[in-house]
Amino acid sequence: MEPERLRRRVCSAFRVRGLLLRAEAVKYLTETLQSLNEEELEDVIDKIIDAVEKQPLSTSMIELATVEAAVQECSQALDETVYVKVHGKNGICSDEFDAIRRTHRHELFTPAAVVIHPDDNRSKFQLKTVETLLGSTVKVGEVIVLGMITQLKEFHSGLYTESCFVLAEGWYEDEVFHVNAFGFPPTEPSATTRAFYGNINFFGGPSSASVKASVKLKQLEDENEDAMFVFLSDVWLDQAEVLERLHTMFSGSLKALADIICEYPSIHKRVQYCTQEIIIFREDLVNKMCRNCVRFPSSSMDIPSHFVKTILSQGHLTPLPLYVSPVYWAYDYTLRVYPVPDVLVIADKYDPFTVTNTDCLCINPQASGSLTFYKTAKRDGAFVKLT
């Protein structure tokens, strides 16, 4: 935009809000906003004026220092990456609505194609939309909707936190949906997901096709019956006891510690072994999710089962509000657990456990001083104490 035209536009915007600019302030804003296009300009000017009005003003004549402070405040709030790539946030919301498709495909929500017996469809459920309920003027009973939770009354198993997607059952009357019970969207086995999407590679990696479609890899997996993975959690290398036990472990299987250090996994890693998909995640999730439960499960002895069900039904490694567990929008897809993997390793400080849900083995390794073996042929985990 031409400098003179931009100058008039800036002055006009401030005058509309009852403010006048000093000449040096006008010059500063004209130079600062010169690089913006038409689409961004109006929004940025409004934000600068808002920032100016937040400052303690003794007069309607705005000085250069006041404008500079306002621009600096806006620059900090409007991080360039987030401002330009805000569409990444839309991906988080749209992909989480995979829960709707999974629910519709579940046998409980799929009407029979051919009704042989009158009771065939009576045991089925039907999802209703909020818009459908709003258009109703009479009481509607036995309603099930899928949405994001706010307050709960009756619960099925799972750790219910804010931002979780849930199935709510109840009745609708006088523009109020009365909830009787809550439950998570049903989890879907990987084989069922792939029956709908074919051999698309959701997991990641160089191949465009899923490794589960490879006959050769499946043959190699079957032939290598002794293959296993060893998982360690909380390996504190500044403790002498930990180093001694590492030496014991490496002397029995690996010769060079340097080779292992070079291959150390990061906090979040995806591993493909033949046709098996393994997700490894280091985060103290169990306690964090328990702290943020809207209602803590009545059966506290079975927290691992509640935890695993929540992760798999939500299809995400951190089903928590963004203010509790911030996520960089552009890389949210790396935290998705859909389709369900073969193995999910959560290196958490919680007590060690192995839980199988929807053909997925979830393992929480023991802390340093112990090993967790995953035998690929048998697809089971075992804990071993190092002495």
Mean pLDDT confidence for 12-31 = 87
Q: Residue 26 maps to which CATH number?
A: 1.10.8.60
> Residues 254, 205: one domain?
yes
Pairing of strands 360-364, 343-347: parallel
Q: Is the pLDDT of residue 293 over 70?
A: yes
Are the beta carbons of 371 and 378 closer than 8 angstroms?
no
> Residues 127, 210: one domain?
no
Query: What integer pLDDT is reported at residue 258 of this predicted model?
Result: 47
Mean pLDDT confidence for 126-147 = 72
Share of the chain above pLDDT 70, in %: 76
Last residue of a domain, one of 44, 78, 112: 78
> Residues 170, 207: one domain?
no
Q: Is residue 287 part of a domain?
A: yes
Q: What's at 208, amino acid-wise? A: S
Please indicate whether residue 349 or residue 344 has the higher confidence score (pLDDT).
344
* Tens of pLDDT, residues 220-259: 888 888 888 878 777 777 777 777 777 776 666 555 554 6
Under the banding of pLDDT at 50, 70 and 90, the label for residue 186 is confident
Pairing of strands 370-375, 380-385: antiparallel
Q: Is residue 295 part of a domain?
A: yes
> Residues 283, 315: one domain?
yes
Give the predicted TM-score (pTM) of the model: 0.55
Last residue of a domain, one of 183, 218, 236: 183
Return the structure tokens found at 238.
Answer: 């500044």
The rounded radius of gyration (Å) of the Cα atoms in the chain is 28
Under the banding of pLDDT at 50, 70 and 90, the label for residue 344 is very high
Return the structure tokens found at 182.
Answer: 């809550």
List b or e across 106-145, with b for residues whose CB sees 16 or more CB atoms inside 10 angstroms: eeebeeeeeeeeeeeeeeebeebeeeebeeeeeeeeebbb
Provide the residue range defining the domain that includes 165.
99-183
List b or e across 33-47, with b for residues whose CB sees 16 or more CB atoms inside 10 angstroms: beeeeeeebeebbeb
Pairing of strands 360-364, 353-357: antiparallel
Are the beta carbons of 29 and 51 closer than 8 angstroms?
no
> Residues 63, 123: one domain?
no
Q: How far apart are CA 124 and CA 106, in angstroms?
A: 10
Q: How far apart are CA 143 and CA 237, in angstroms?
A: 55
Summary count for the chain: helices (H), strands (E):
14, 16
Please indicate whether residue 159 or residue 98 has the higher confidence score (pLDDT).
159
Q: What's at 311, amino acid-wise? A: I
Are the beta carbons of 139 and 120 closer than 8 angstroms?
no
> Residues 205, 249: one domain?
yes
Return the structure tokens found at 94.
Answer: 């749209």
> Residues 214, 178: one domain?
no
Domain count, the chain: 3
Please indicate whether residue 387 or residue 283 has the higher confidence score (pLDDT).
283
Share of the chain above pLDDT 90, in %: 3
Are the beta carbons of 60 and 19 closer than 8 angstroms?
yes
Which of 27-31, 141-145, 371-375 is predicted least confidently? 141-145
Q: Is residue 93 part of a domain?
A: no
> Residues 43, 111: one domain?
no
Query: What integer pLDDT is reported at residue 257 of this predicted model?
Result: 54
Place of tokens 């292992």: 260
* Tens of pLDDT, residues 267-289: 567 888 888 899 988 888 888 88
Q: Residue 364 maps to which CATH number?
A: 3.60.21
Please indicate whether residue 71 or residue 93 has the higher confidence score (pLDDT).
71
Are the beta carbons of 210 and 203 closer than 8 angstroms?
yes
Q: Is the pLDDT of residue 85 over 50?
A: no
Q: Is residue 204 part of a domain?
A: yes
Are the beta carbons of 144 and 286 closer than 8 angstroms?
no
Query: What integer pLDDT is reported at residue 377 of this predicted model?
Result: 82
Nearest to 284, CA basis, from 360, 196, 373, 348: 348
Q: Is residue 363 part of a domain?
A: yes
Q: Is residue 36 part of a domain?
A: yes
Q: Is residue 257 part of a domain?
A: yes
> Residues 203, 270: one domain?
yes
Under the banding of pLDDT at 50, 70 and 90, the label for residue 46 is confident
Query: What integer pLDDT is reported at residue 255 of this predicted model?
Result: 55
Mean pLDDT confidence for 191-216 = 84
Residues 249, 254, 260, 265: is their CA dihedral positive or negative?
negative
Query: What integer pLDDT is reported at residue 299 of this predicted model?
Result: 65
Q: Is residue 214 part of a domain?
A: yes
> Residues 211, 345: one domain?
yes
Which of 34-43, 76-85, 247-256, 354-363 is predicted least confidently? 76-85
The HSE-up count of residue 217 (CA atoms within 13 Å, CB side) is 13
Please indicate whether residue 62 or residue 94 has the higher confidence score (pLDDT).
62
Residue 249, classified by CB atoms within 10 Å of its CB into exposed (0-12), middle (13-18) or buried (19+), is middle
> Residues 216, 322: one domain?
yes
> Residues 257, 109: one domain?
no
Greatest extent of the chain over all pairs of C-alpha atoms, in Å: 84
Q: Please, which residues bridge with residue 75 across strands?
A: none
Helix 64-77 and helix 23-32, axial crossing angle in degrees, nearest 10? 20
